[in-house]
Amino acid sequence: MTSNPSSSEVVLDVDNLVKHFPLTTGVLVKRQVGAVKAVDGVSLQLRRGETLGVVGESGCGKSTLAKLLMRLEEPTSGKAYFKGQNIYDLQGKALRELRRNIQIVFQDPYSSLNPRMTVGDIVGEPFDIHPEVAPRGQRRKRVQELLEVVGLNPEHINRYPHQFSGGQRQRIGIARGLALRPEIIICDEPVSALDVSVQAQVVNLLEQLQDEFGLSYIFIAHDLSVVRHISDRVAVMYLGRIVETGTDAEIYEQPTHPYTQALLSAVPVPDPSVRGQRQQIILSGDVPSPANPPSGCRFRTRCWKATDKCAEEDPALIVRPGSNHESACHYAAVREDVVVQH
Amino acid sequence: MATTQAGIVPRPDQAGVTPLLEVEDLHVEFRTRDGVAKAVNGVSYTLHEGETLAVLGESGSGKSVTAQAIMGILDSPPGFVTGGAVRFRGQDLLALPDDERRAYRGRSISMIFQDALSALNPVFPVGWQIAEMFRVHEGLSKKDARKRAIELMEQVRIPAARERVGDYPHQFSGGMRQRIMIAMAIALDPDVLIADEPTTALDVTVQAQIMQLLADLQRDRNMGLILIAHDLGVVADVADKIEVMYSGRIMEQAPVHDIYAAPAHPYTKGLLESIPRVDLKGQELSAIKGLPPNLTNIPAGCEFRPRCPYAREICKEQRPPLAEVVPGRFSACHFAQEVLEGDIEPVQQ
């Protein structure tokens, strides 16, 4: 692992990021009738060489967050500083420079690679836009080096994506992400589409690359055990907000937010001997619509601790008494019976 | 729930009782332009009433194809059952003509699919689709069938079932759609329910709800449940017996507690070790190297040999049969005893 990332410099500082997608009605004259609050005030920090895990259910805004940080979407409000510069202020050359430094690896290695391009073209395409990284003559050599780094045979440079398995395709996606030597890689569910035995290979590769190149990762996933394995810090998202954040040990061993507790208790444990011994919190109902989130605390409609206060007052993400990490719950309290040591 | 200590041998108290479902030496192949893909190569398992059998395997291991062959919904061509038997209460379904076999589908054996959105018809209300089971199979009137559909929706715990019976599949969340599929599957009170990765597409909190629902329904109706999964975590809580499939064959078969405590096949061992664990944080995960074999060209000898850390000369030459290691446990490995006891060293390559 990297040498104590908690003390290294902050490479990405996200401040109160908001993304609302307008809901419109009318055919000729569009009228806004509401907004899907996909990301609604997210602040986080990412340090050099660190992995920040982001977990949450589908629809909680984690992929929108990834797109915002890549500047594939413009935020409604908020700022994100990459090395002191607000990435949403950048234009032209400076923006291109930024895009070099923040790269993404997508979830589905089947749809994120162009089936008509060879692996060499896919991995080498970033060099077309950023020729300063690899001059024309050296491009092929660079691509072959990259393939080797991610554990693929450099001789396969002329093959097409369909000639590779899922795990190998994900390696191609990672090679493309590495091509421009970025400082940050956003991994949006990079192993969810892979078989269990192959998942471990890709997780190992990501960790090894981090050590080698000093990369910072934002690792978005719904598999909590993989997130725990790879992350230094974890942020739990619910309905567009971060509800709890802390080191991996704080989140997994001393969760204080009821949602985190429910999420952890629902994780299947691959050990039949603990059957019936752990408390499983089965949340009732579904996640409310992000177009119309509940007043006050957004989790209150599914929370067993909810009181009138929760409906009126939006709990801030602050360090609560009795713990040393941030939690957005009025009644944050450590609960140990949901945590299984295995 | 009764623990099942026996594998394919009937339990003492059930000796002489015909198993609910018996798959024997099943072979399925797909005849494609690229050659014949041998998807299932001699799979045998049995399921008793009230028992939960988990079939584990990676994509391409043949677990879903086996289920499709049991249900008789294999796409044919290109898929063909080339041998074996599927016996439901002693009756070989594969020997029946199509119209007789249809009587078993839904009523005796029923199935839930992974992707509820594509399994449901988008242009009909869900209530109509559930009610179709009663109209077609039991000849109920539209009104009575609808009433039964609402009852079923309540049984699978869909809130406000009466109001939502006319809604279309896209108006439901993923978890609710899965419940609707479960409602359709249990409509005719089947004896065997096959769930093919029922929670793979769902979030972890919803996954817990659906597994709970399946476990409750199984207990209340004393169904035999075949749970197909690729993840060792999901099945640990509910299964009685595990079958691990690889390359179209069963590699290991054992009662659930035994297999997690001490696997008797290198593949199972590899799968268990590749799960991230708290005490191994910061270390490399132990991954199984390489890839599953191409089904059109399965290697000679043991199928797992190219990826196996313990492979020796004999593994190249002889394909190990699924044999009993200790009473009630079966493994298809030449060194099953040694793997079980942890008494084998990886070969340096």
pLDDT at B16: 62
Whose CA is closest to B124, among B155, B160, B165, B163?
B165
Nearest CA in chain A to B176: A286
Q: Which of residues 55-114 of B touch A (CB under 8 A)?
A: 58-59
Could you tell me if B35 and B114 lie in one domain?
yes
Q: CA-based angle A342:B6:B10, to the nearest 5?
A: 155
Interface contact flag, B236 A269, Cβ < 8 Å: yes
Q: Does B34 touch chain A (CB under 8 A)?
A: no
pLDDT at B24: 93
Could you tell me if B52 and B191 lie in one domain?
yes
Q: Does B9 have pLDDT greater than 50? A: no
Q: Which of A199, A209, A286 to mutate to test the interface with B (most CBs of B within 10 A)?
A: A286
Banded pLDDT at B293 (limits 50, 70, 90)? confident
The dotted CATH code for A15-24+35-231 is 3.40.50.300
Q: Out of B270, B276, B286, name the one closest to residue A228 (CB).
A: B276
Could you tell me if B104 and B194 lie in one domain?
yes
- Residues A193-239: pLDDT tens digits? 777 777 888 888 899 889 988 999 999 988 888 899 999 999 999 99
Q: How close A271 comes to chain B (CA, Å)?
A: 6
Nearest CA in chain B to A265: B205
Q: Does B18 have pLDDT greater than 50? A: yes
pLDDT at A182: 92
Mean pLDDT calculated for residue range A249-262: 91
For chain B, what is the mean pLDDT? 87
Asked if residue B202 is part of any domain, the answer here is yes
Nearest CA in chain B to A270: B233
Cβ–Cβ < 8 Å for B331, B264 = yes
A222 CB neighbours in chain B (<8 A) are 203-204
Share of chain A above pLDDT 90, in %: 42
Rg (CA), chain B: 21
Between CA A224 and CA A270 the distance in angstroms is 13
pLDDT at A5: 57
Q: How close B25 comes to chain A (CA, Å)?
A: 26
Nearest CA in chain B to A276: B237
B286 CB neighbours in chain A (<8 A) are 200
Q: Does A241 have pLDDT greater than 90? A: yes
Mean pLDDT calculated for residue range A95-109: 88
Interface contact flag, B291 A269, Cβ < 8 Å: no
Cβ-based neighbours of B329, under 8 Å, separated by 6 or more: B7, B252, B253, B254, B255, B258, B259, B264, B340
Could you tell me if B107 and B211 lie in one domain?
yes
pLDDT at B85: 92
Q: How close A4 comes to chain B (CA, Å)?
A: 12
- Residues B123-144: pLDDT tens digits? 999 999 999 999 988 889 999 9
Nearest CA in chain B to A271: B236
Our count of domains for chain B comes to: 2
For chain A, what is the mean pLDDT? 87
pLDDT at A3: 47
Mean pLDDT calculated for residue range A75-80: 94
DSSP A76: S
Pairs across A and B, CB distance < 8 A: 124
pLDDT at A337: 67
Interface contact flag, A229 B284, Cβ < 8 Å: no
Interface contact flag, A222 B261, Cβ < 8 Å: no
- Residues A5-35: pLDDT tens digits? 567 889 999 999 999 998 888 888 888 888 8
pLDDT at B278: 72
Inter-axis angle of helices A166-178 and A139-149, nearest 10:
130
> What's the domain range around B308?
249-273+286-341
Q: Which of A171, A197, A283, A339 to mutate to test the interface with B (most CBs of B within 10 A)?
A: A197
- Residues B156-198: pLDDT tens digits? 888 888 889 999 999 888 888 989 999 999 999 999 999 998 8
pLDDT at A84: 86
B271 CB neighbours in chain A (<8 A) are 196-197
Instruction: Please report, for the domain that includes residue B220, its CATH number.
Output: 3.40.50.300
B289 CB neighbours in chain A (<8 A) are 201
pLDDT at A39: 93
Cβ–Cβ < 8 Å for A45, A13 = yes
Q: Out of A168, A270, A280, name the one closest to residue B208 (CB).
A: A280
Banded pLDDT at B106 (limits 50, 70, 90)? confident
Q: Does B50 have pLDDT greater than 60? A: yes
Q: Does A4 have pLDDT greater than 60? A: no
Mean pLDDT calculated for residue range A138-160: 88
Write out the E strands in B109-191: 109-112
- Residues A275-316: pLDDT tens digits? 777 777 878 777 888 888 899 999 999 998 889 999 999 999
Residues of chain A with CATH 3.40.50.300: 15-24+35-231
Mean pLDDT calculated for residue range B62-88: 90
Higher-confidence residue: B264 or A267? Answer: B264
pLDDT at B3: 41
Q: Which of B172, B204, B235, B268 to mutate to test the interface with A (most CBs of A within 10 A)?
A: B204
Q: Does B234 touch chain A (CB under 8 A)?
A: yes
pLDDT at B4: 40
pLDDT at A79: 93
Q: Out of B176, B209, B291, name the one closest to residue A165 (CB).
A: B291
Nearest CA in chain A to B159: A285
Residue A278 Rama label (left phi>0; alpha psi -120 to 50; beta): beta
Nearest CA in chain A to B60: A195
Could you tell me if B234 and B255 lie in one domain?
no
Whose CA is closest to B243, among B21, B33, B73?
B21
Using the 3D structure, point to which of B216, B239, B262 is the last residue of a domain: B239
Residue A216 — φ and ψ, nearest 5°?
-105, 135
The pair of structure tokens assigned to A99 is 């895009």
Higher-confidence residue: B12 or B80? Answer: B80
Quote ipTM for the complex.
0.77
Could you tell me if B94 and B46 lie in one domain?
yes
Mean pLDDT check: name the lowest of A264-273, B149-158, B254-263.
A264-273
User: Tokens 């594939």 — which residue?
Assistant: A72
Q: Which residues pair with A79 in a beta bridge?
A: A15
Q: Which of B205, B235, B240 to mutate to test the interface with A (most CBs of A within 10 A)?
A: B205
Q: How close B317 comes to chain A (CA, Å)?
A: 25
Could you tell me if B225 and B266 lie in one domain?
no
Task: Tell me the DSSP string of B27-57.
Answer: EEEEEETTEEEEEEEEEEEEE-TT-EEEEE-
Q: Out of A200, A283, A287, name the one closest to residue B287 (CB).
A: A200
